[in-house]
Amino acid sequence: MDADARTDGVRYWFTAELWRWAARSDEWVFVRLPAEMSAEIAAVPRLRAGFGAVKVAVTVGRSHWRTSIFPEATDGPYVLPLKRAVRDAERLDIGDSARIGIELVER
């Protein structure tokens, strides 16, 4: 994990490329959390919602919202959905890289 990936007990920063889930329309756009960061988050005992989701507060540029991250596969990295309103506000498209902050909001 890079030096600034984790800045305190529950906030993470990373840069990731936007990609479209092949089985869905362009409304379903995600970024993957780094594998090591995902493993660290998964190792923290907490109640999880459906699909192993973990609630987070997200920052991308000037946009802030709450959503959930969830594992892409059984032991895969977490993925974060980026809704169209955020992509439009931050002028992001498929293939762009974005600097993202997430804060875990439940343990």
Summarize pLDDT for 60-75 with one digit per residue, the tens.
999 999 999 999 877 7
| Pairing of the two strands 78-81 and 63-71 | antiparallel
Domains, in order of start, for the chain: 11-102 (2.40.30.100)
Q: What pLDDT is stored for residue 105 in this prediction?
A: 86
Residue 3 pLDDT class (50, 70, 90 cuts): very low
11-17/19-20 β-pairing = unpaired
Which pLDDT tens digit goes with each residue over 18-50? 998 876 555 689 999 999 999 988 887 666 666
Q: What is the pLDDT of residue 66?
A: 94
Q: Which amino acid type is present at position 58? A: V
The CA angle 3-7-12, to the nearest 5 degrees, is 90
Cβ-count burial 77-101 (b if 16+ within 10 Å, e if not): bbbbbbeeebbeebebeeeeebebe
Residues 81, 32: contact at Cβ < 8 Å?
Answer: no
Q: How confident is the model over 78-99, as pLDDT tens digits?
A: 999 999 999 999 999 999 999 9
DSSP 8-state assignment for residue 52: G
Over the chain, what is the mean pLDDT?
A: 83
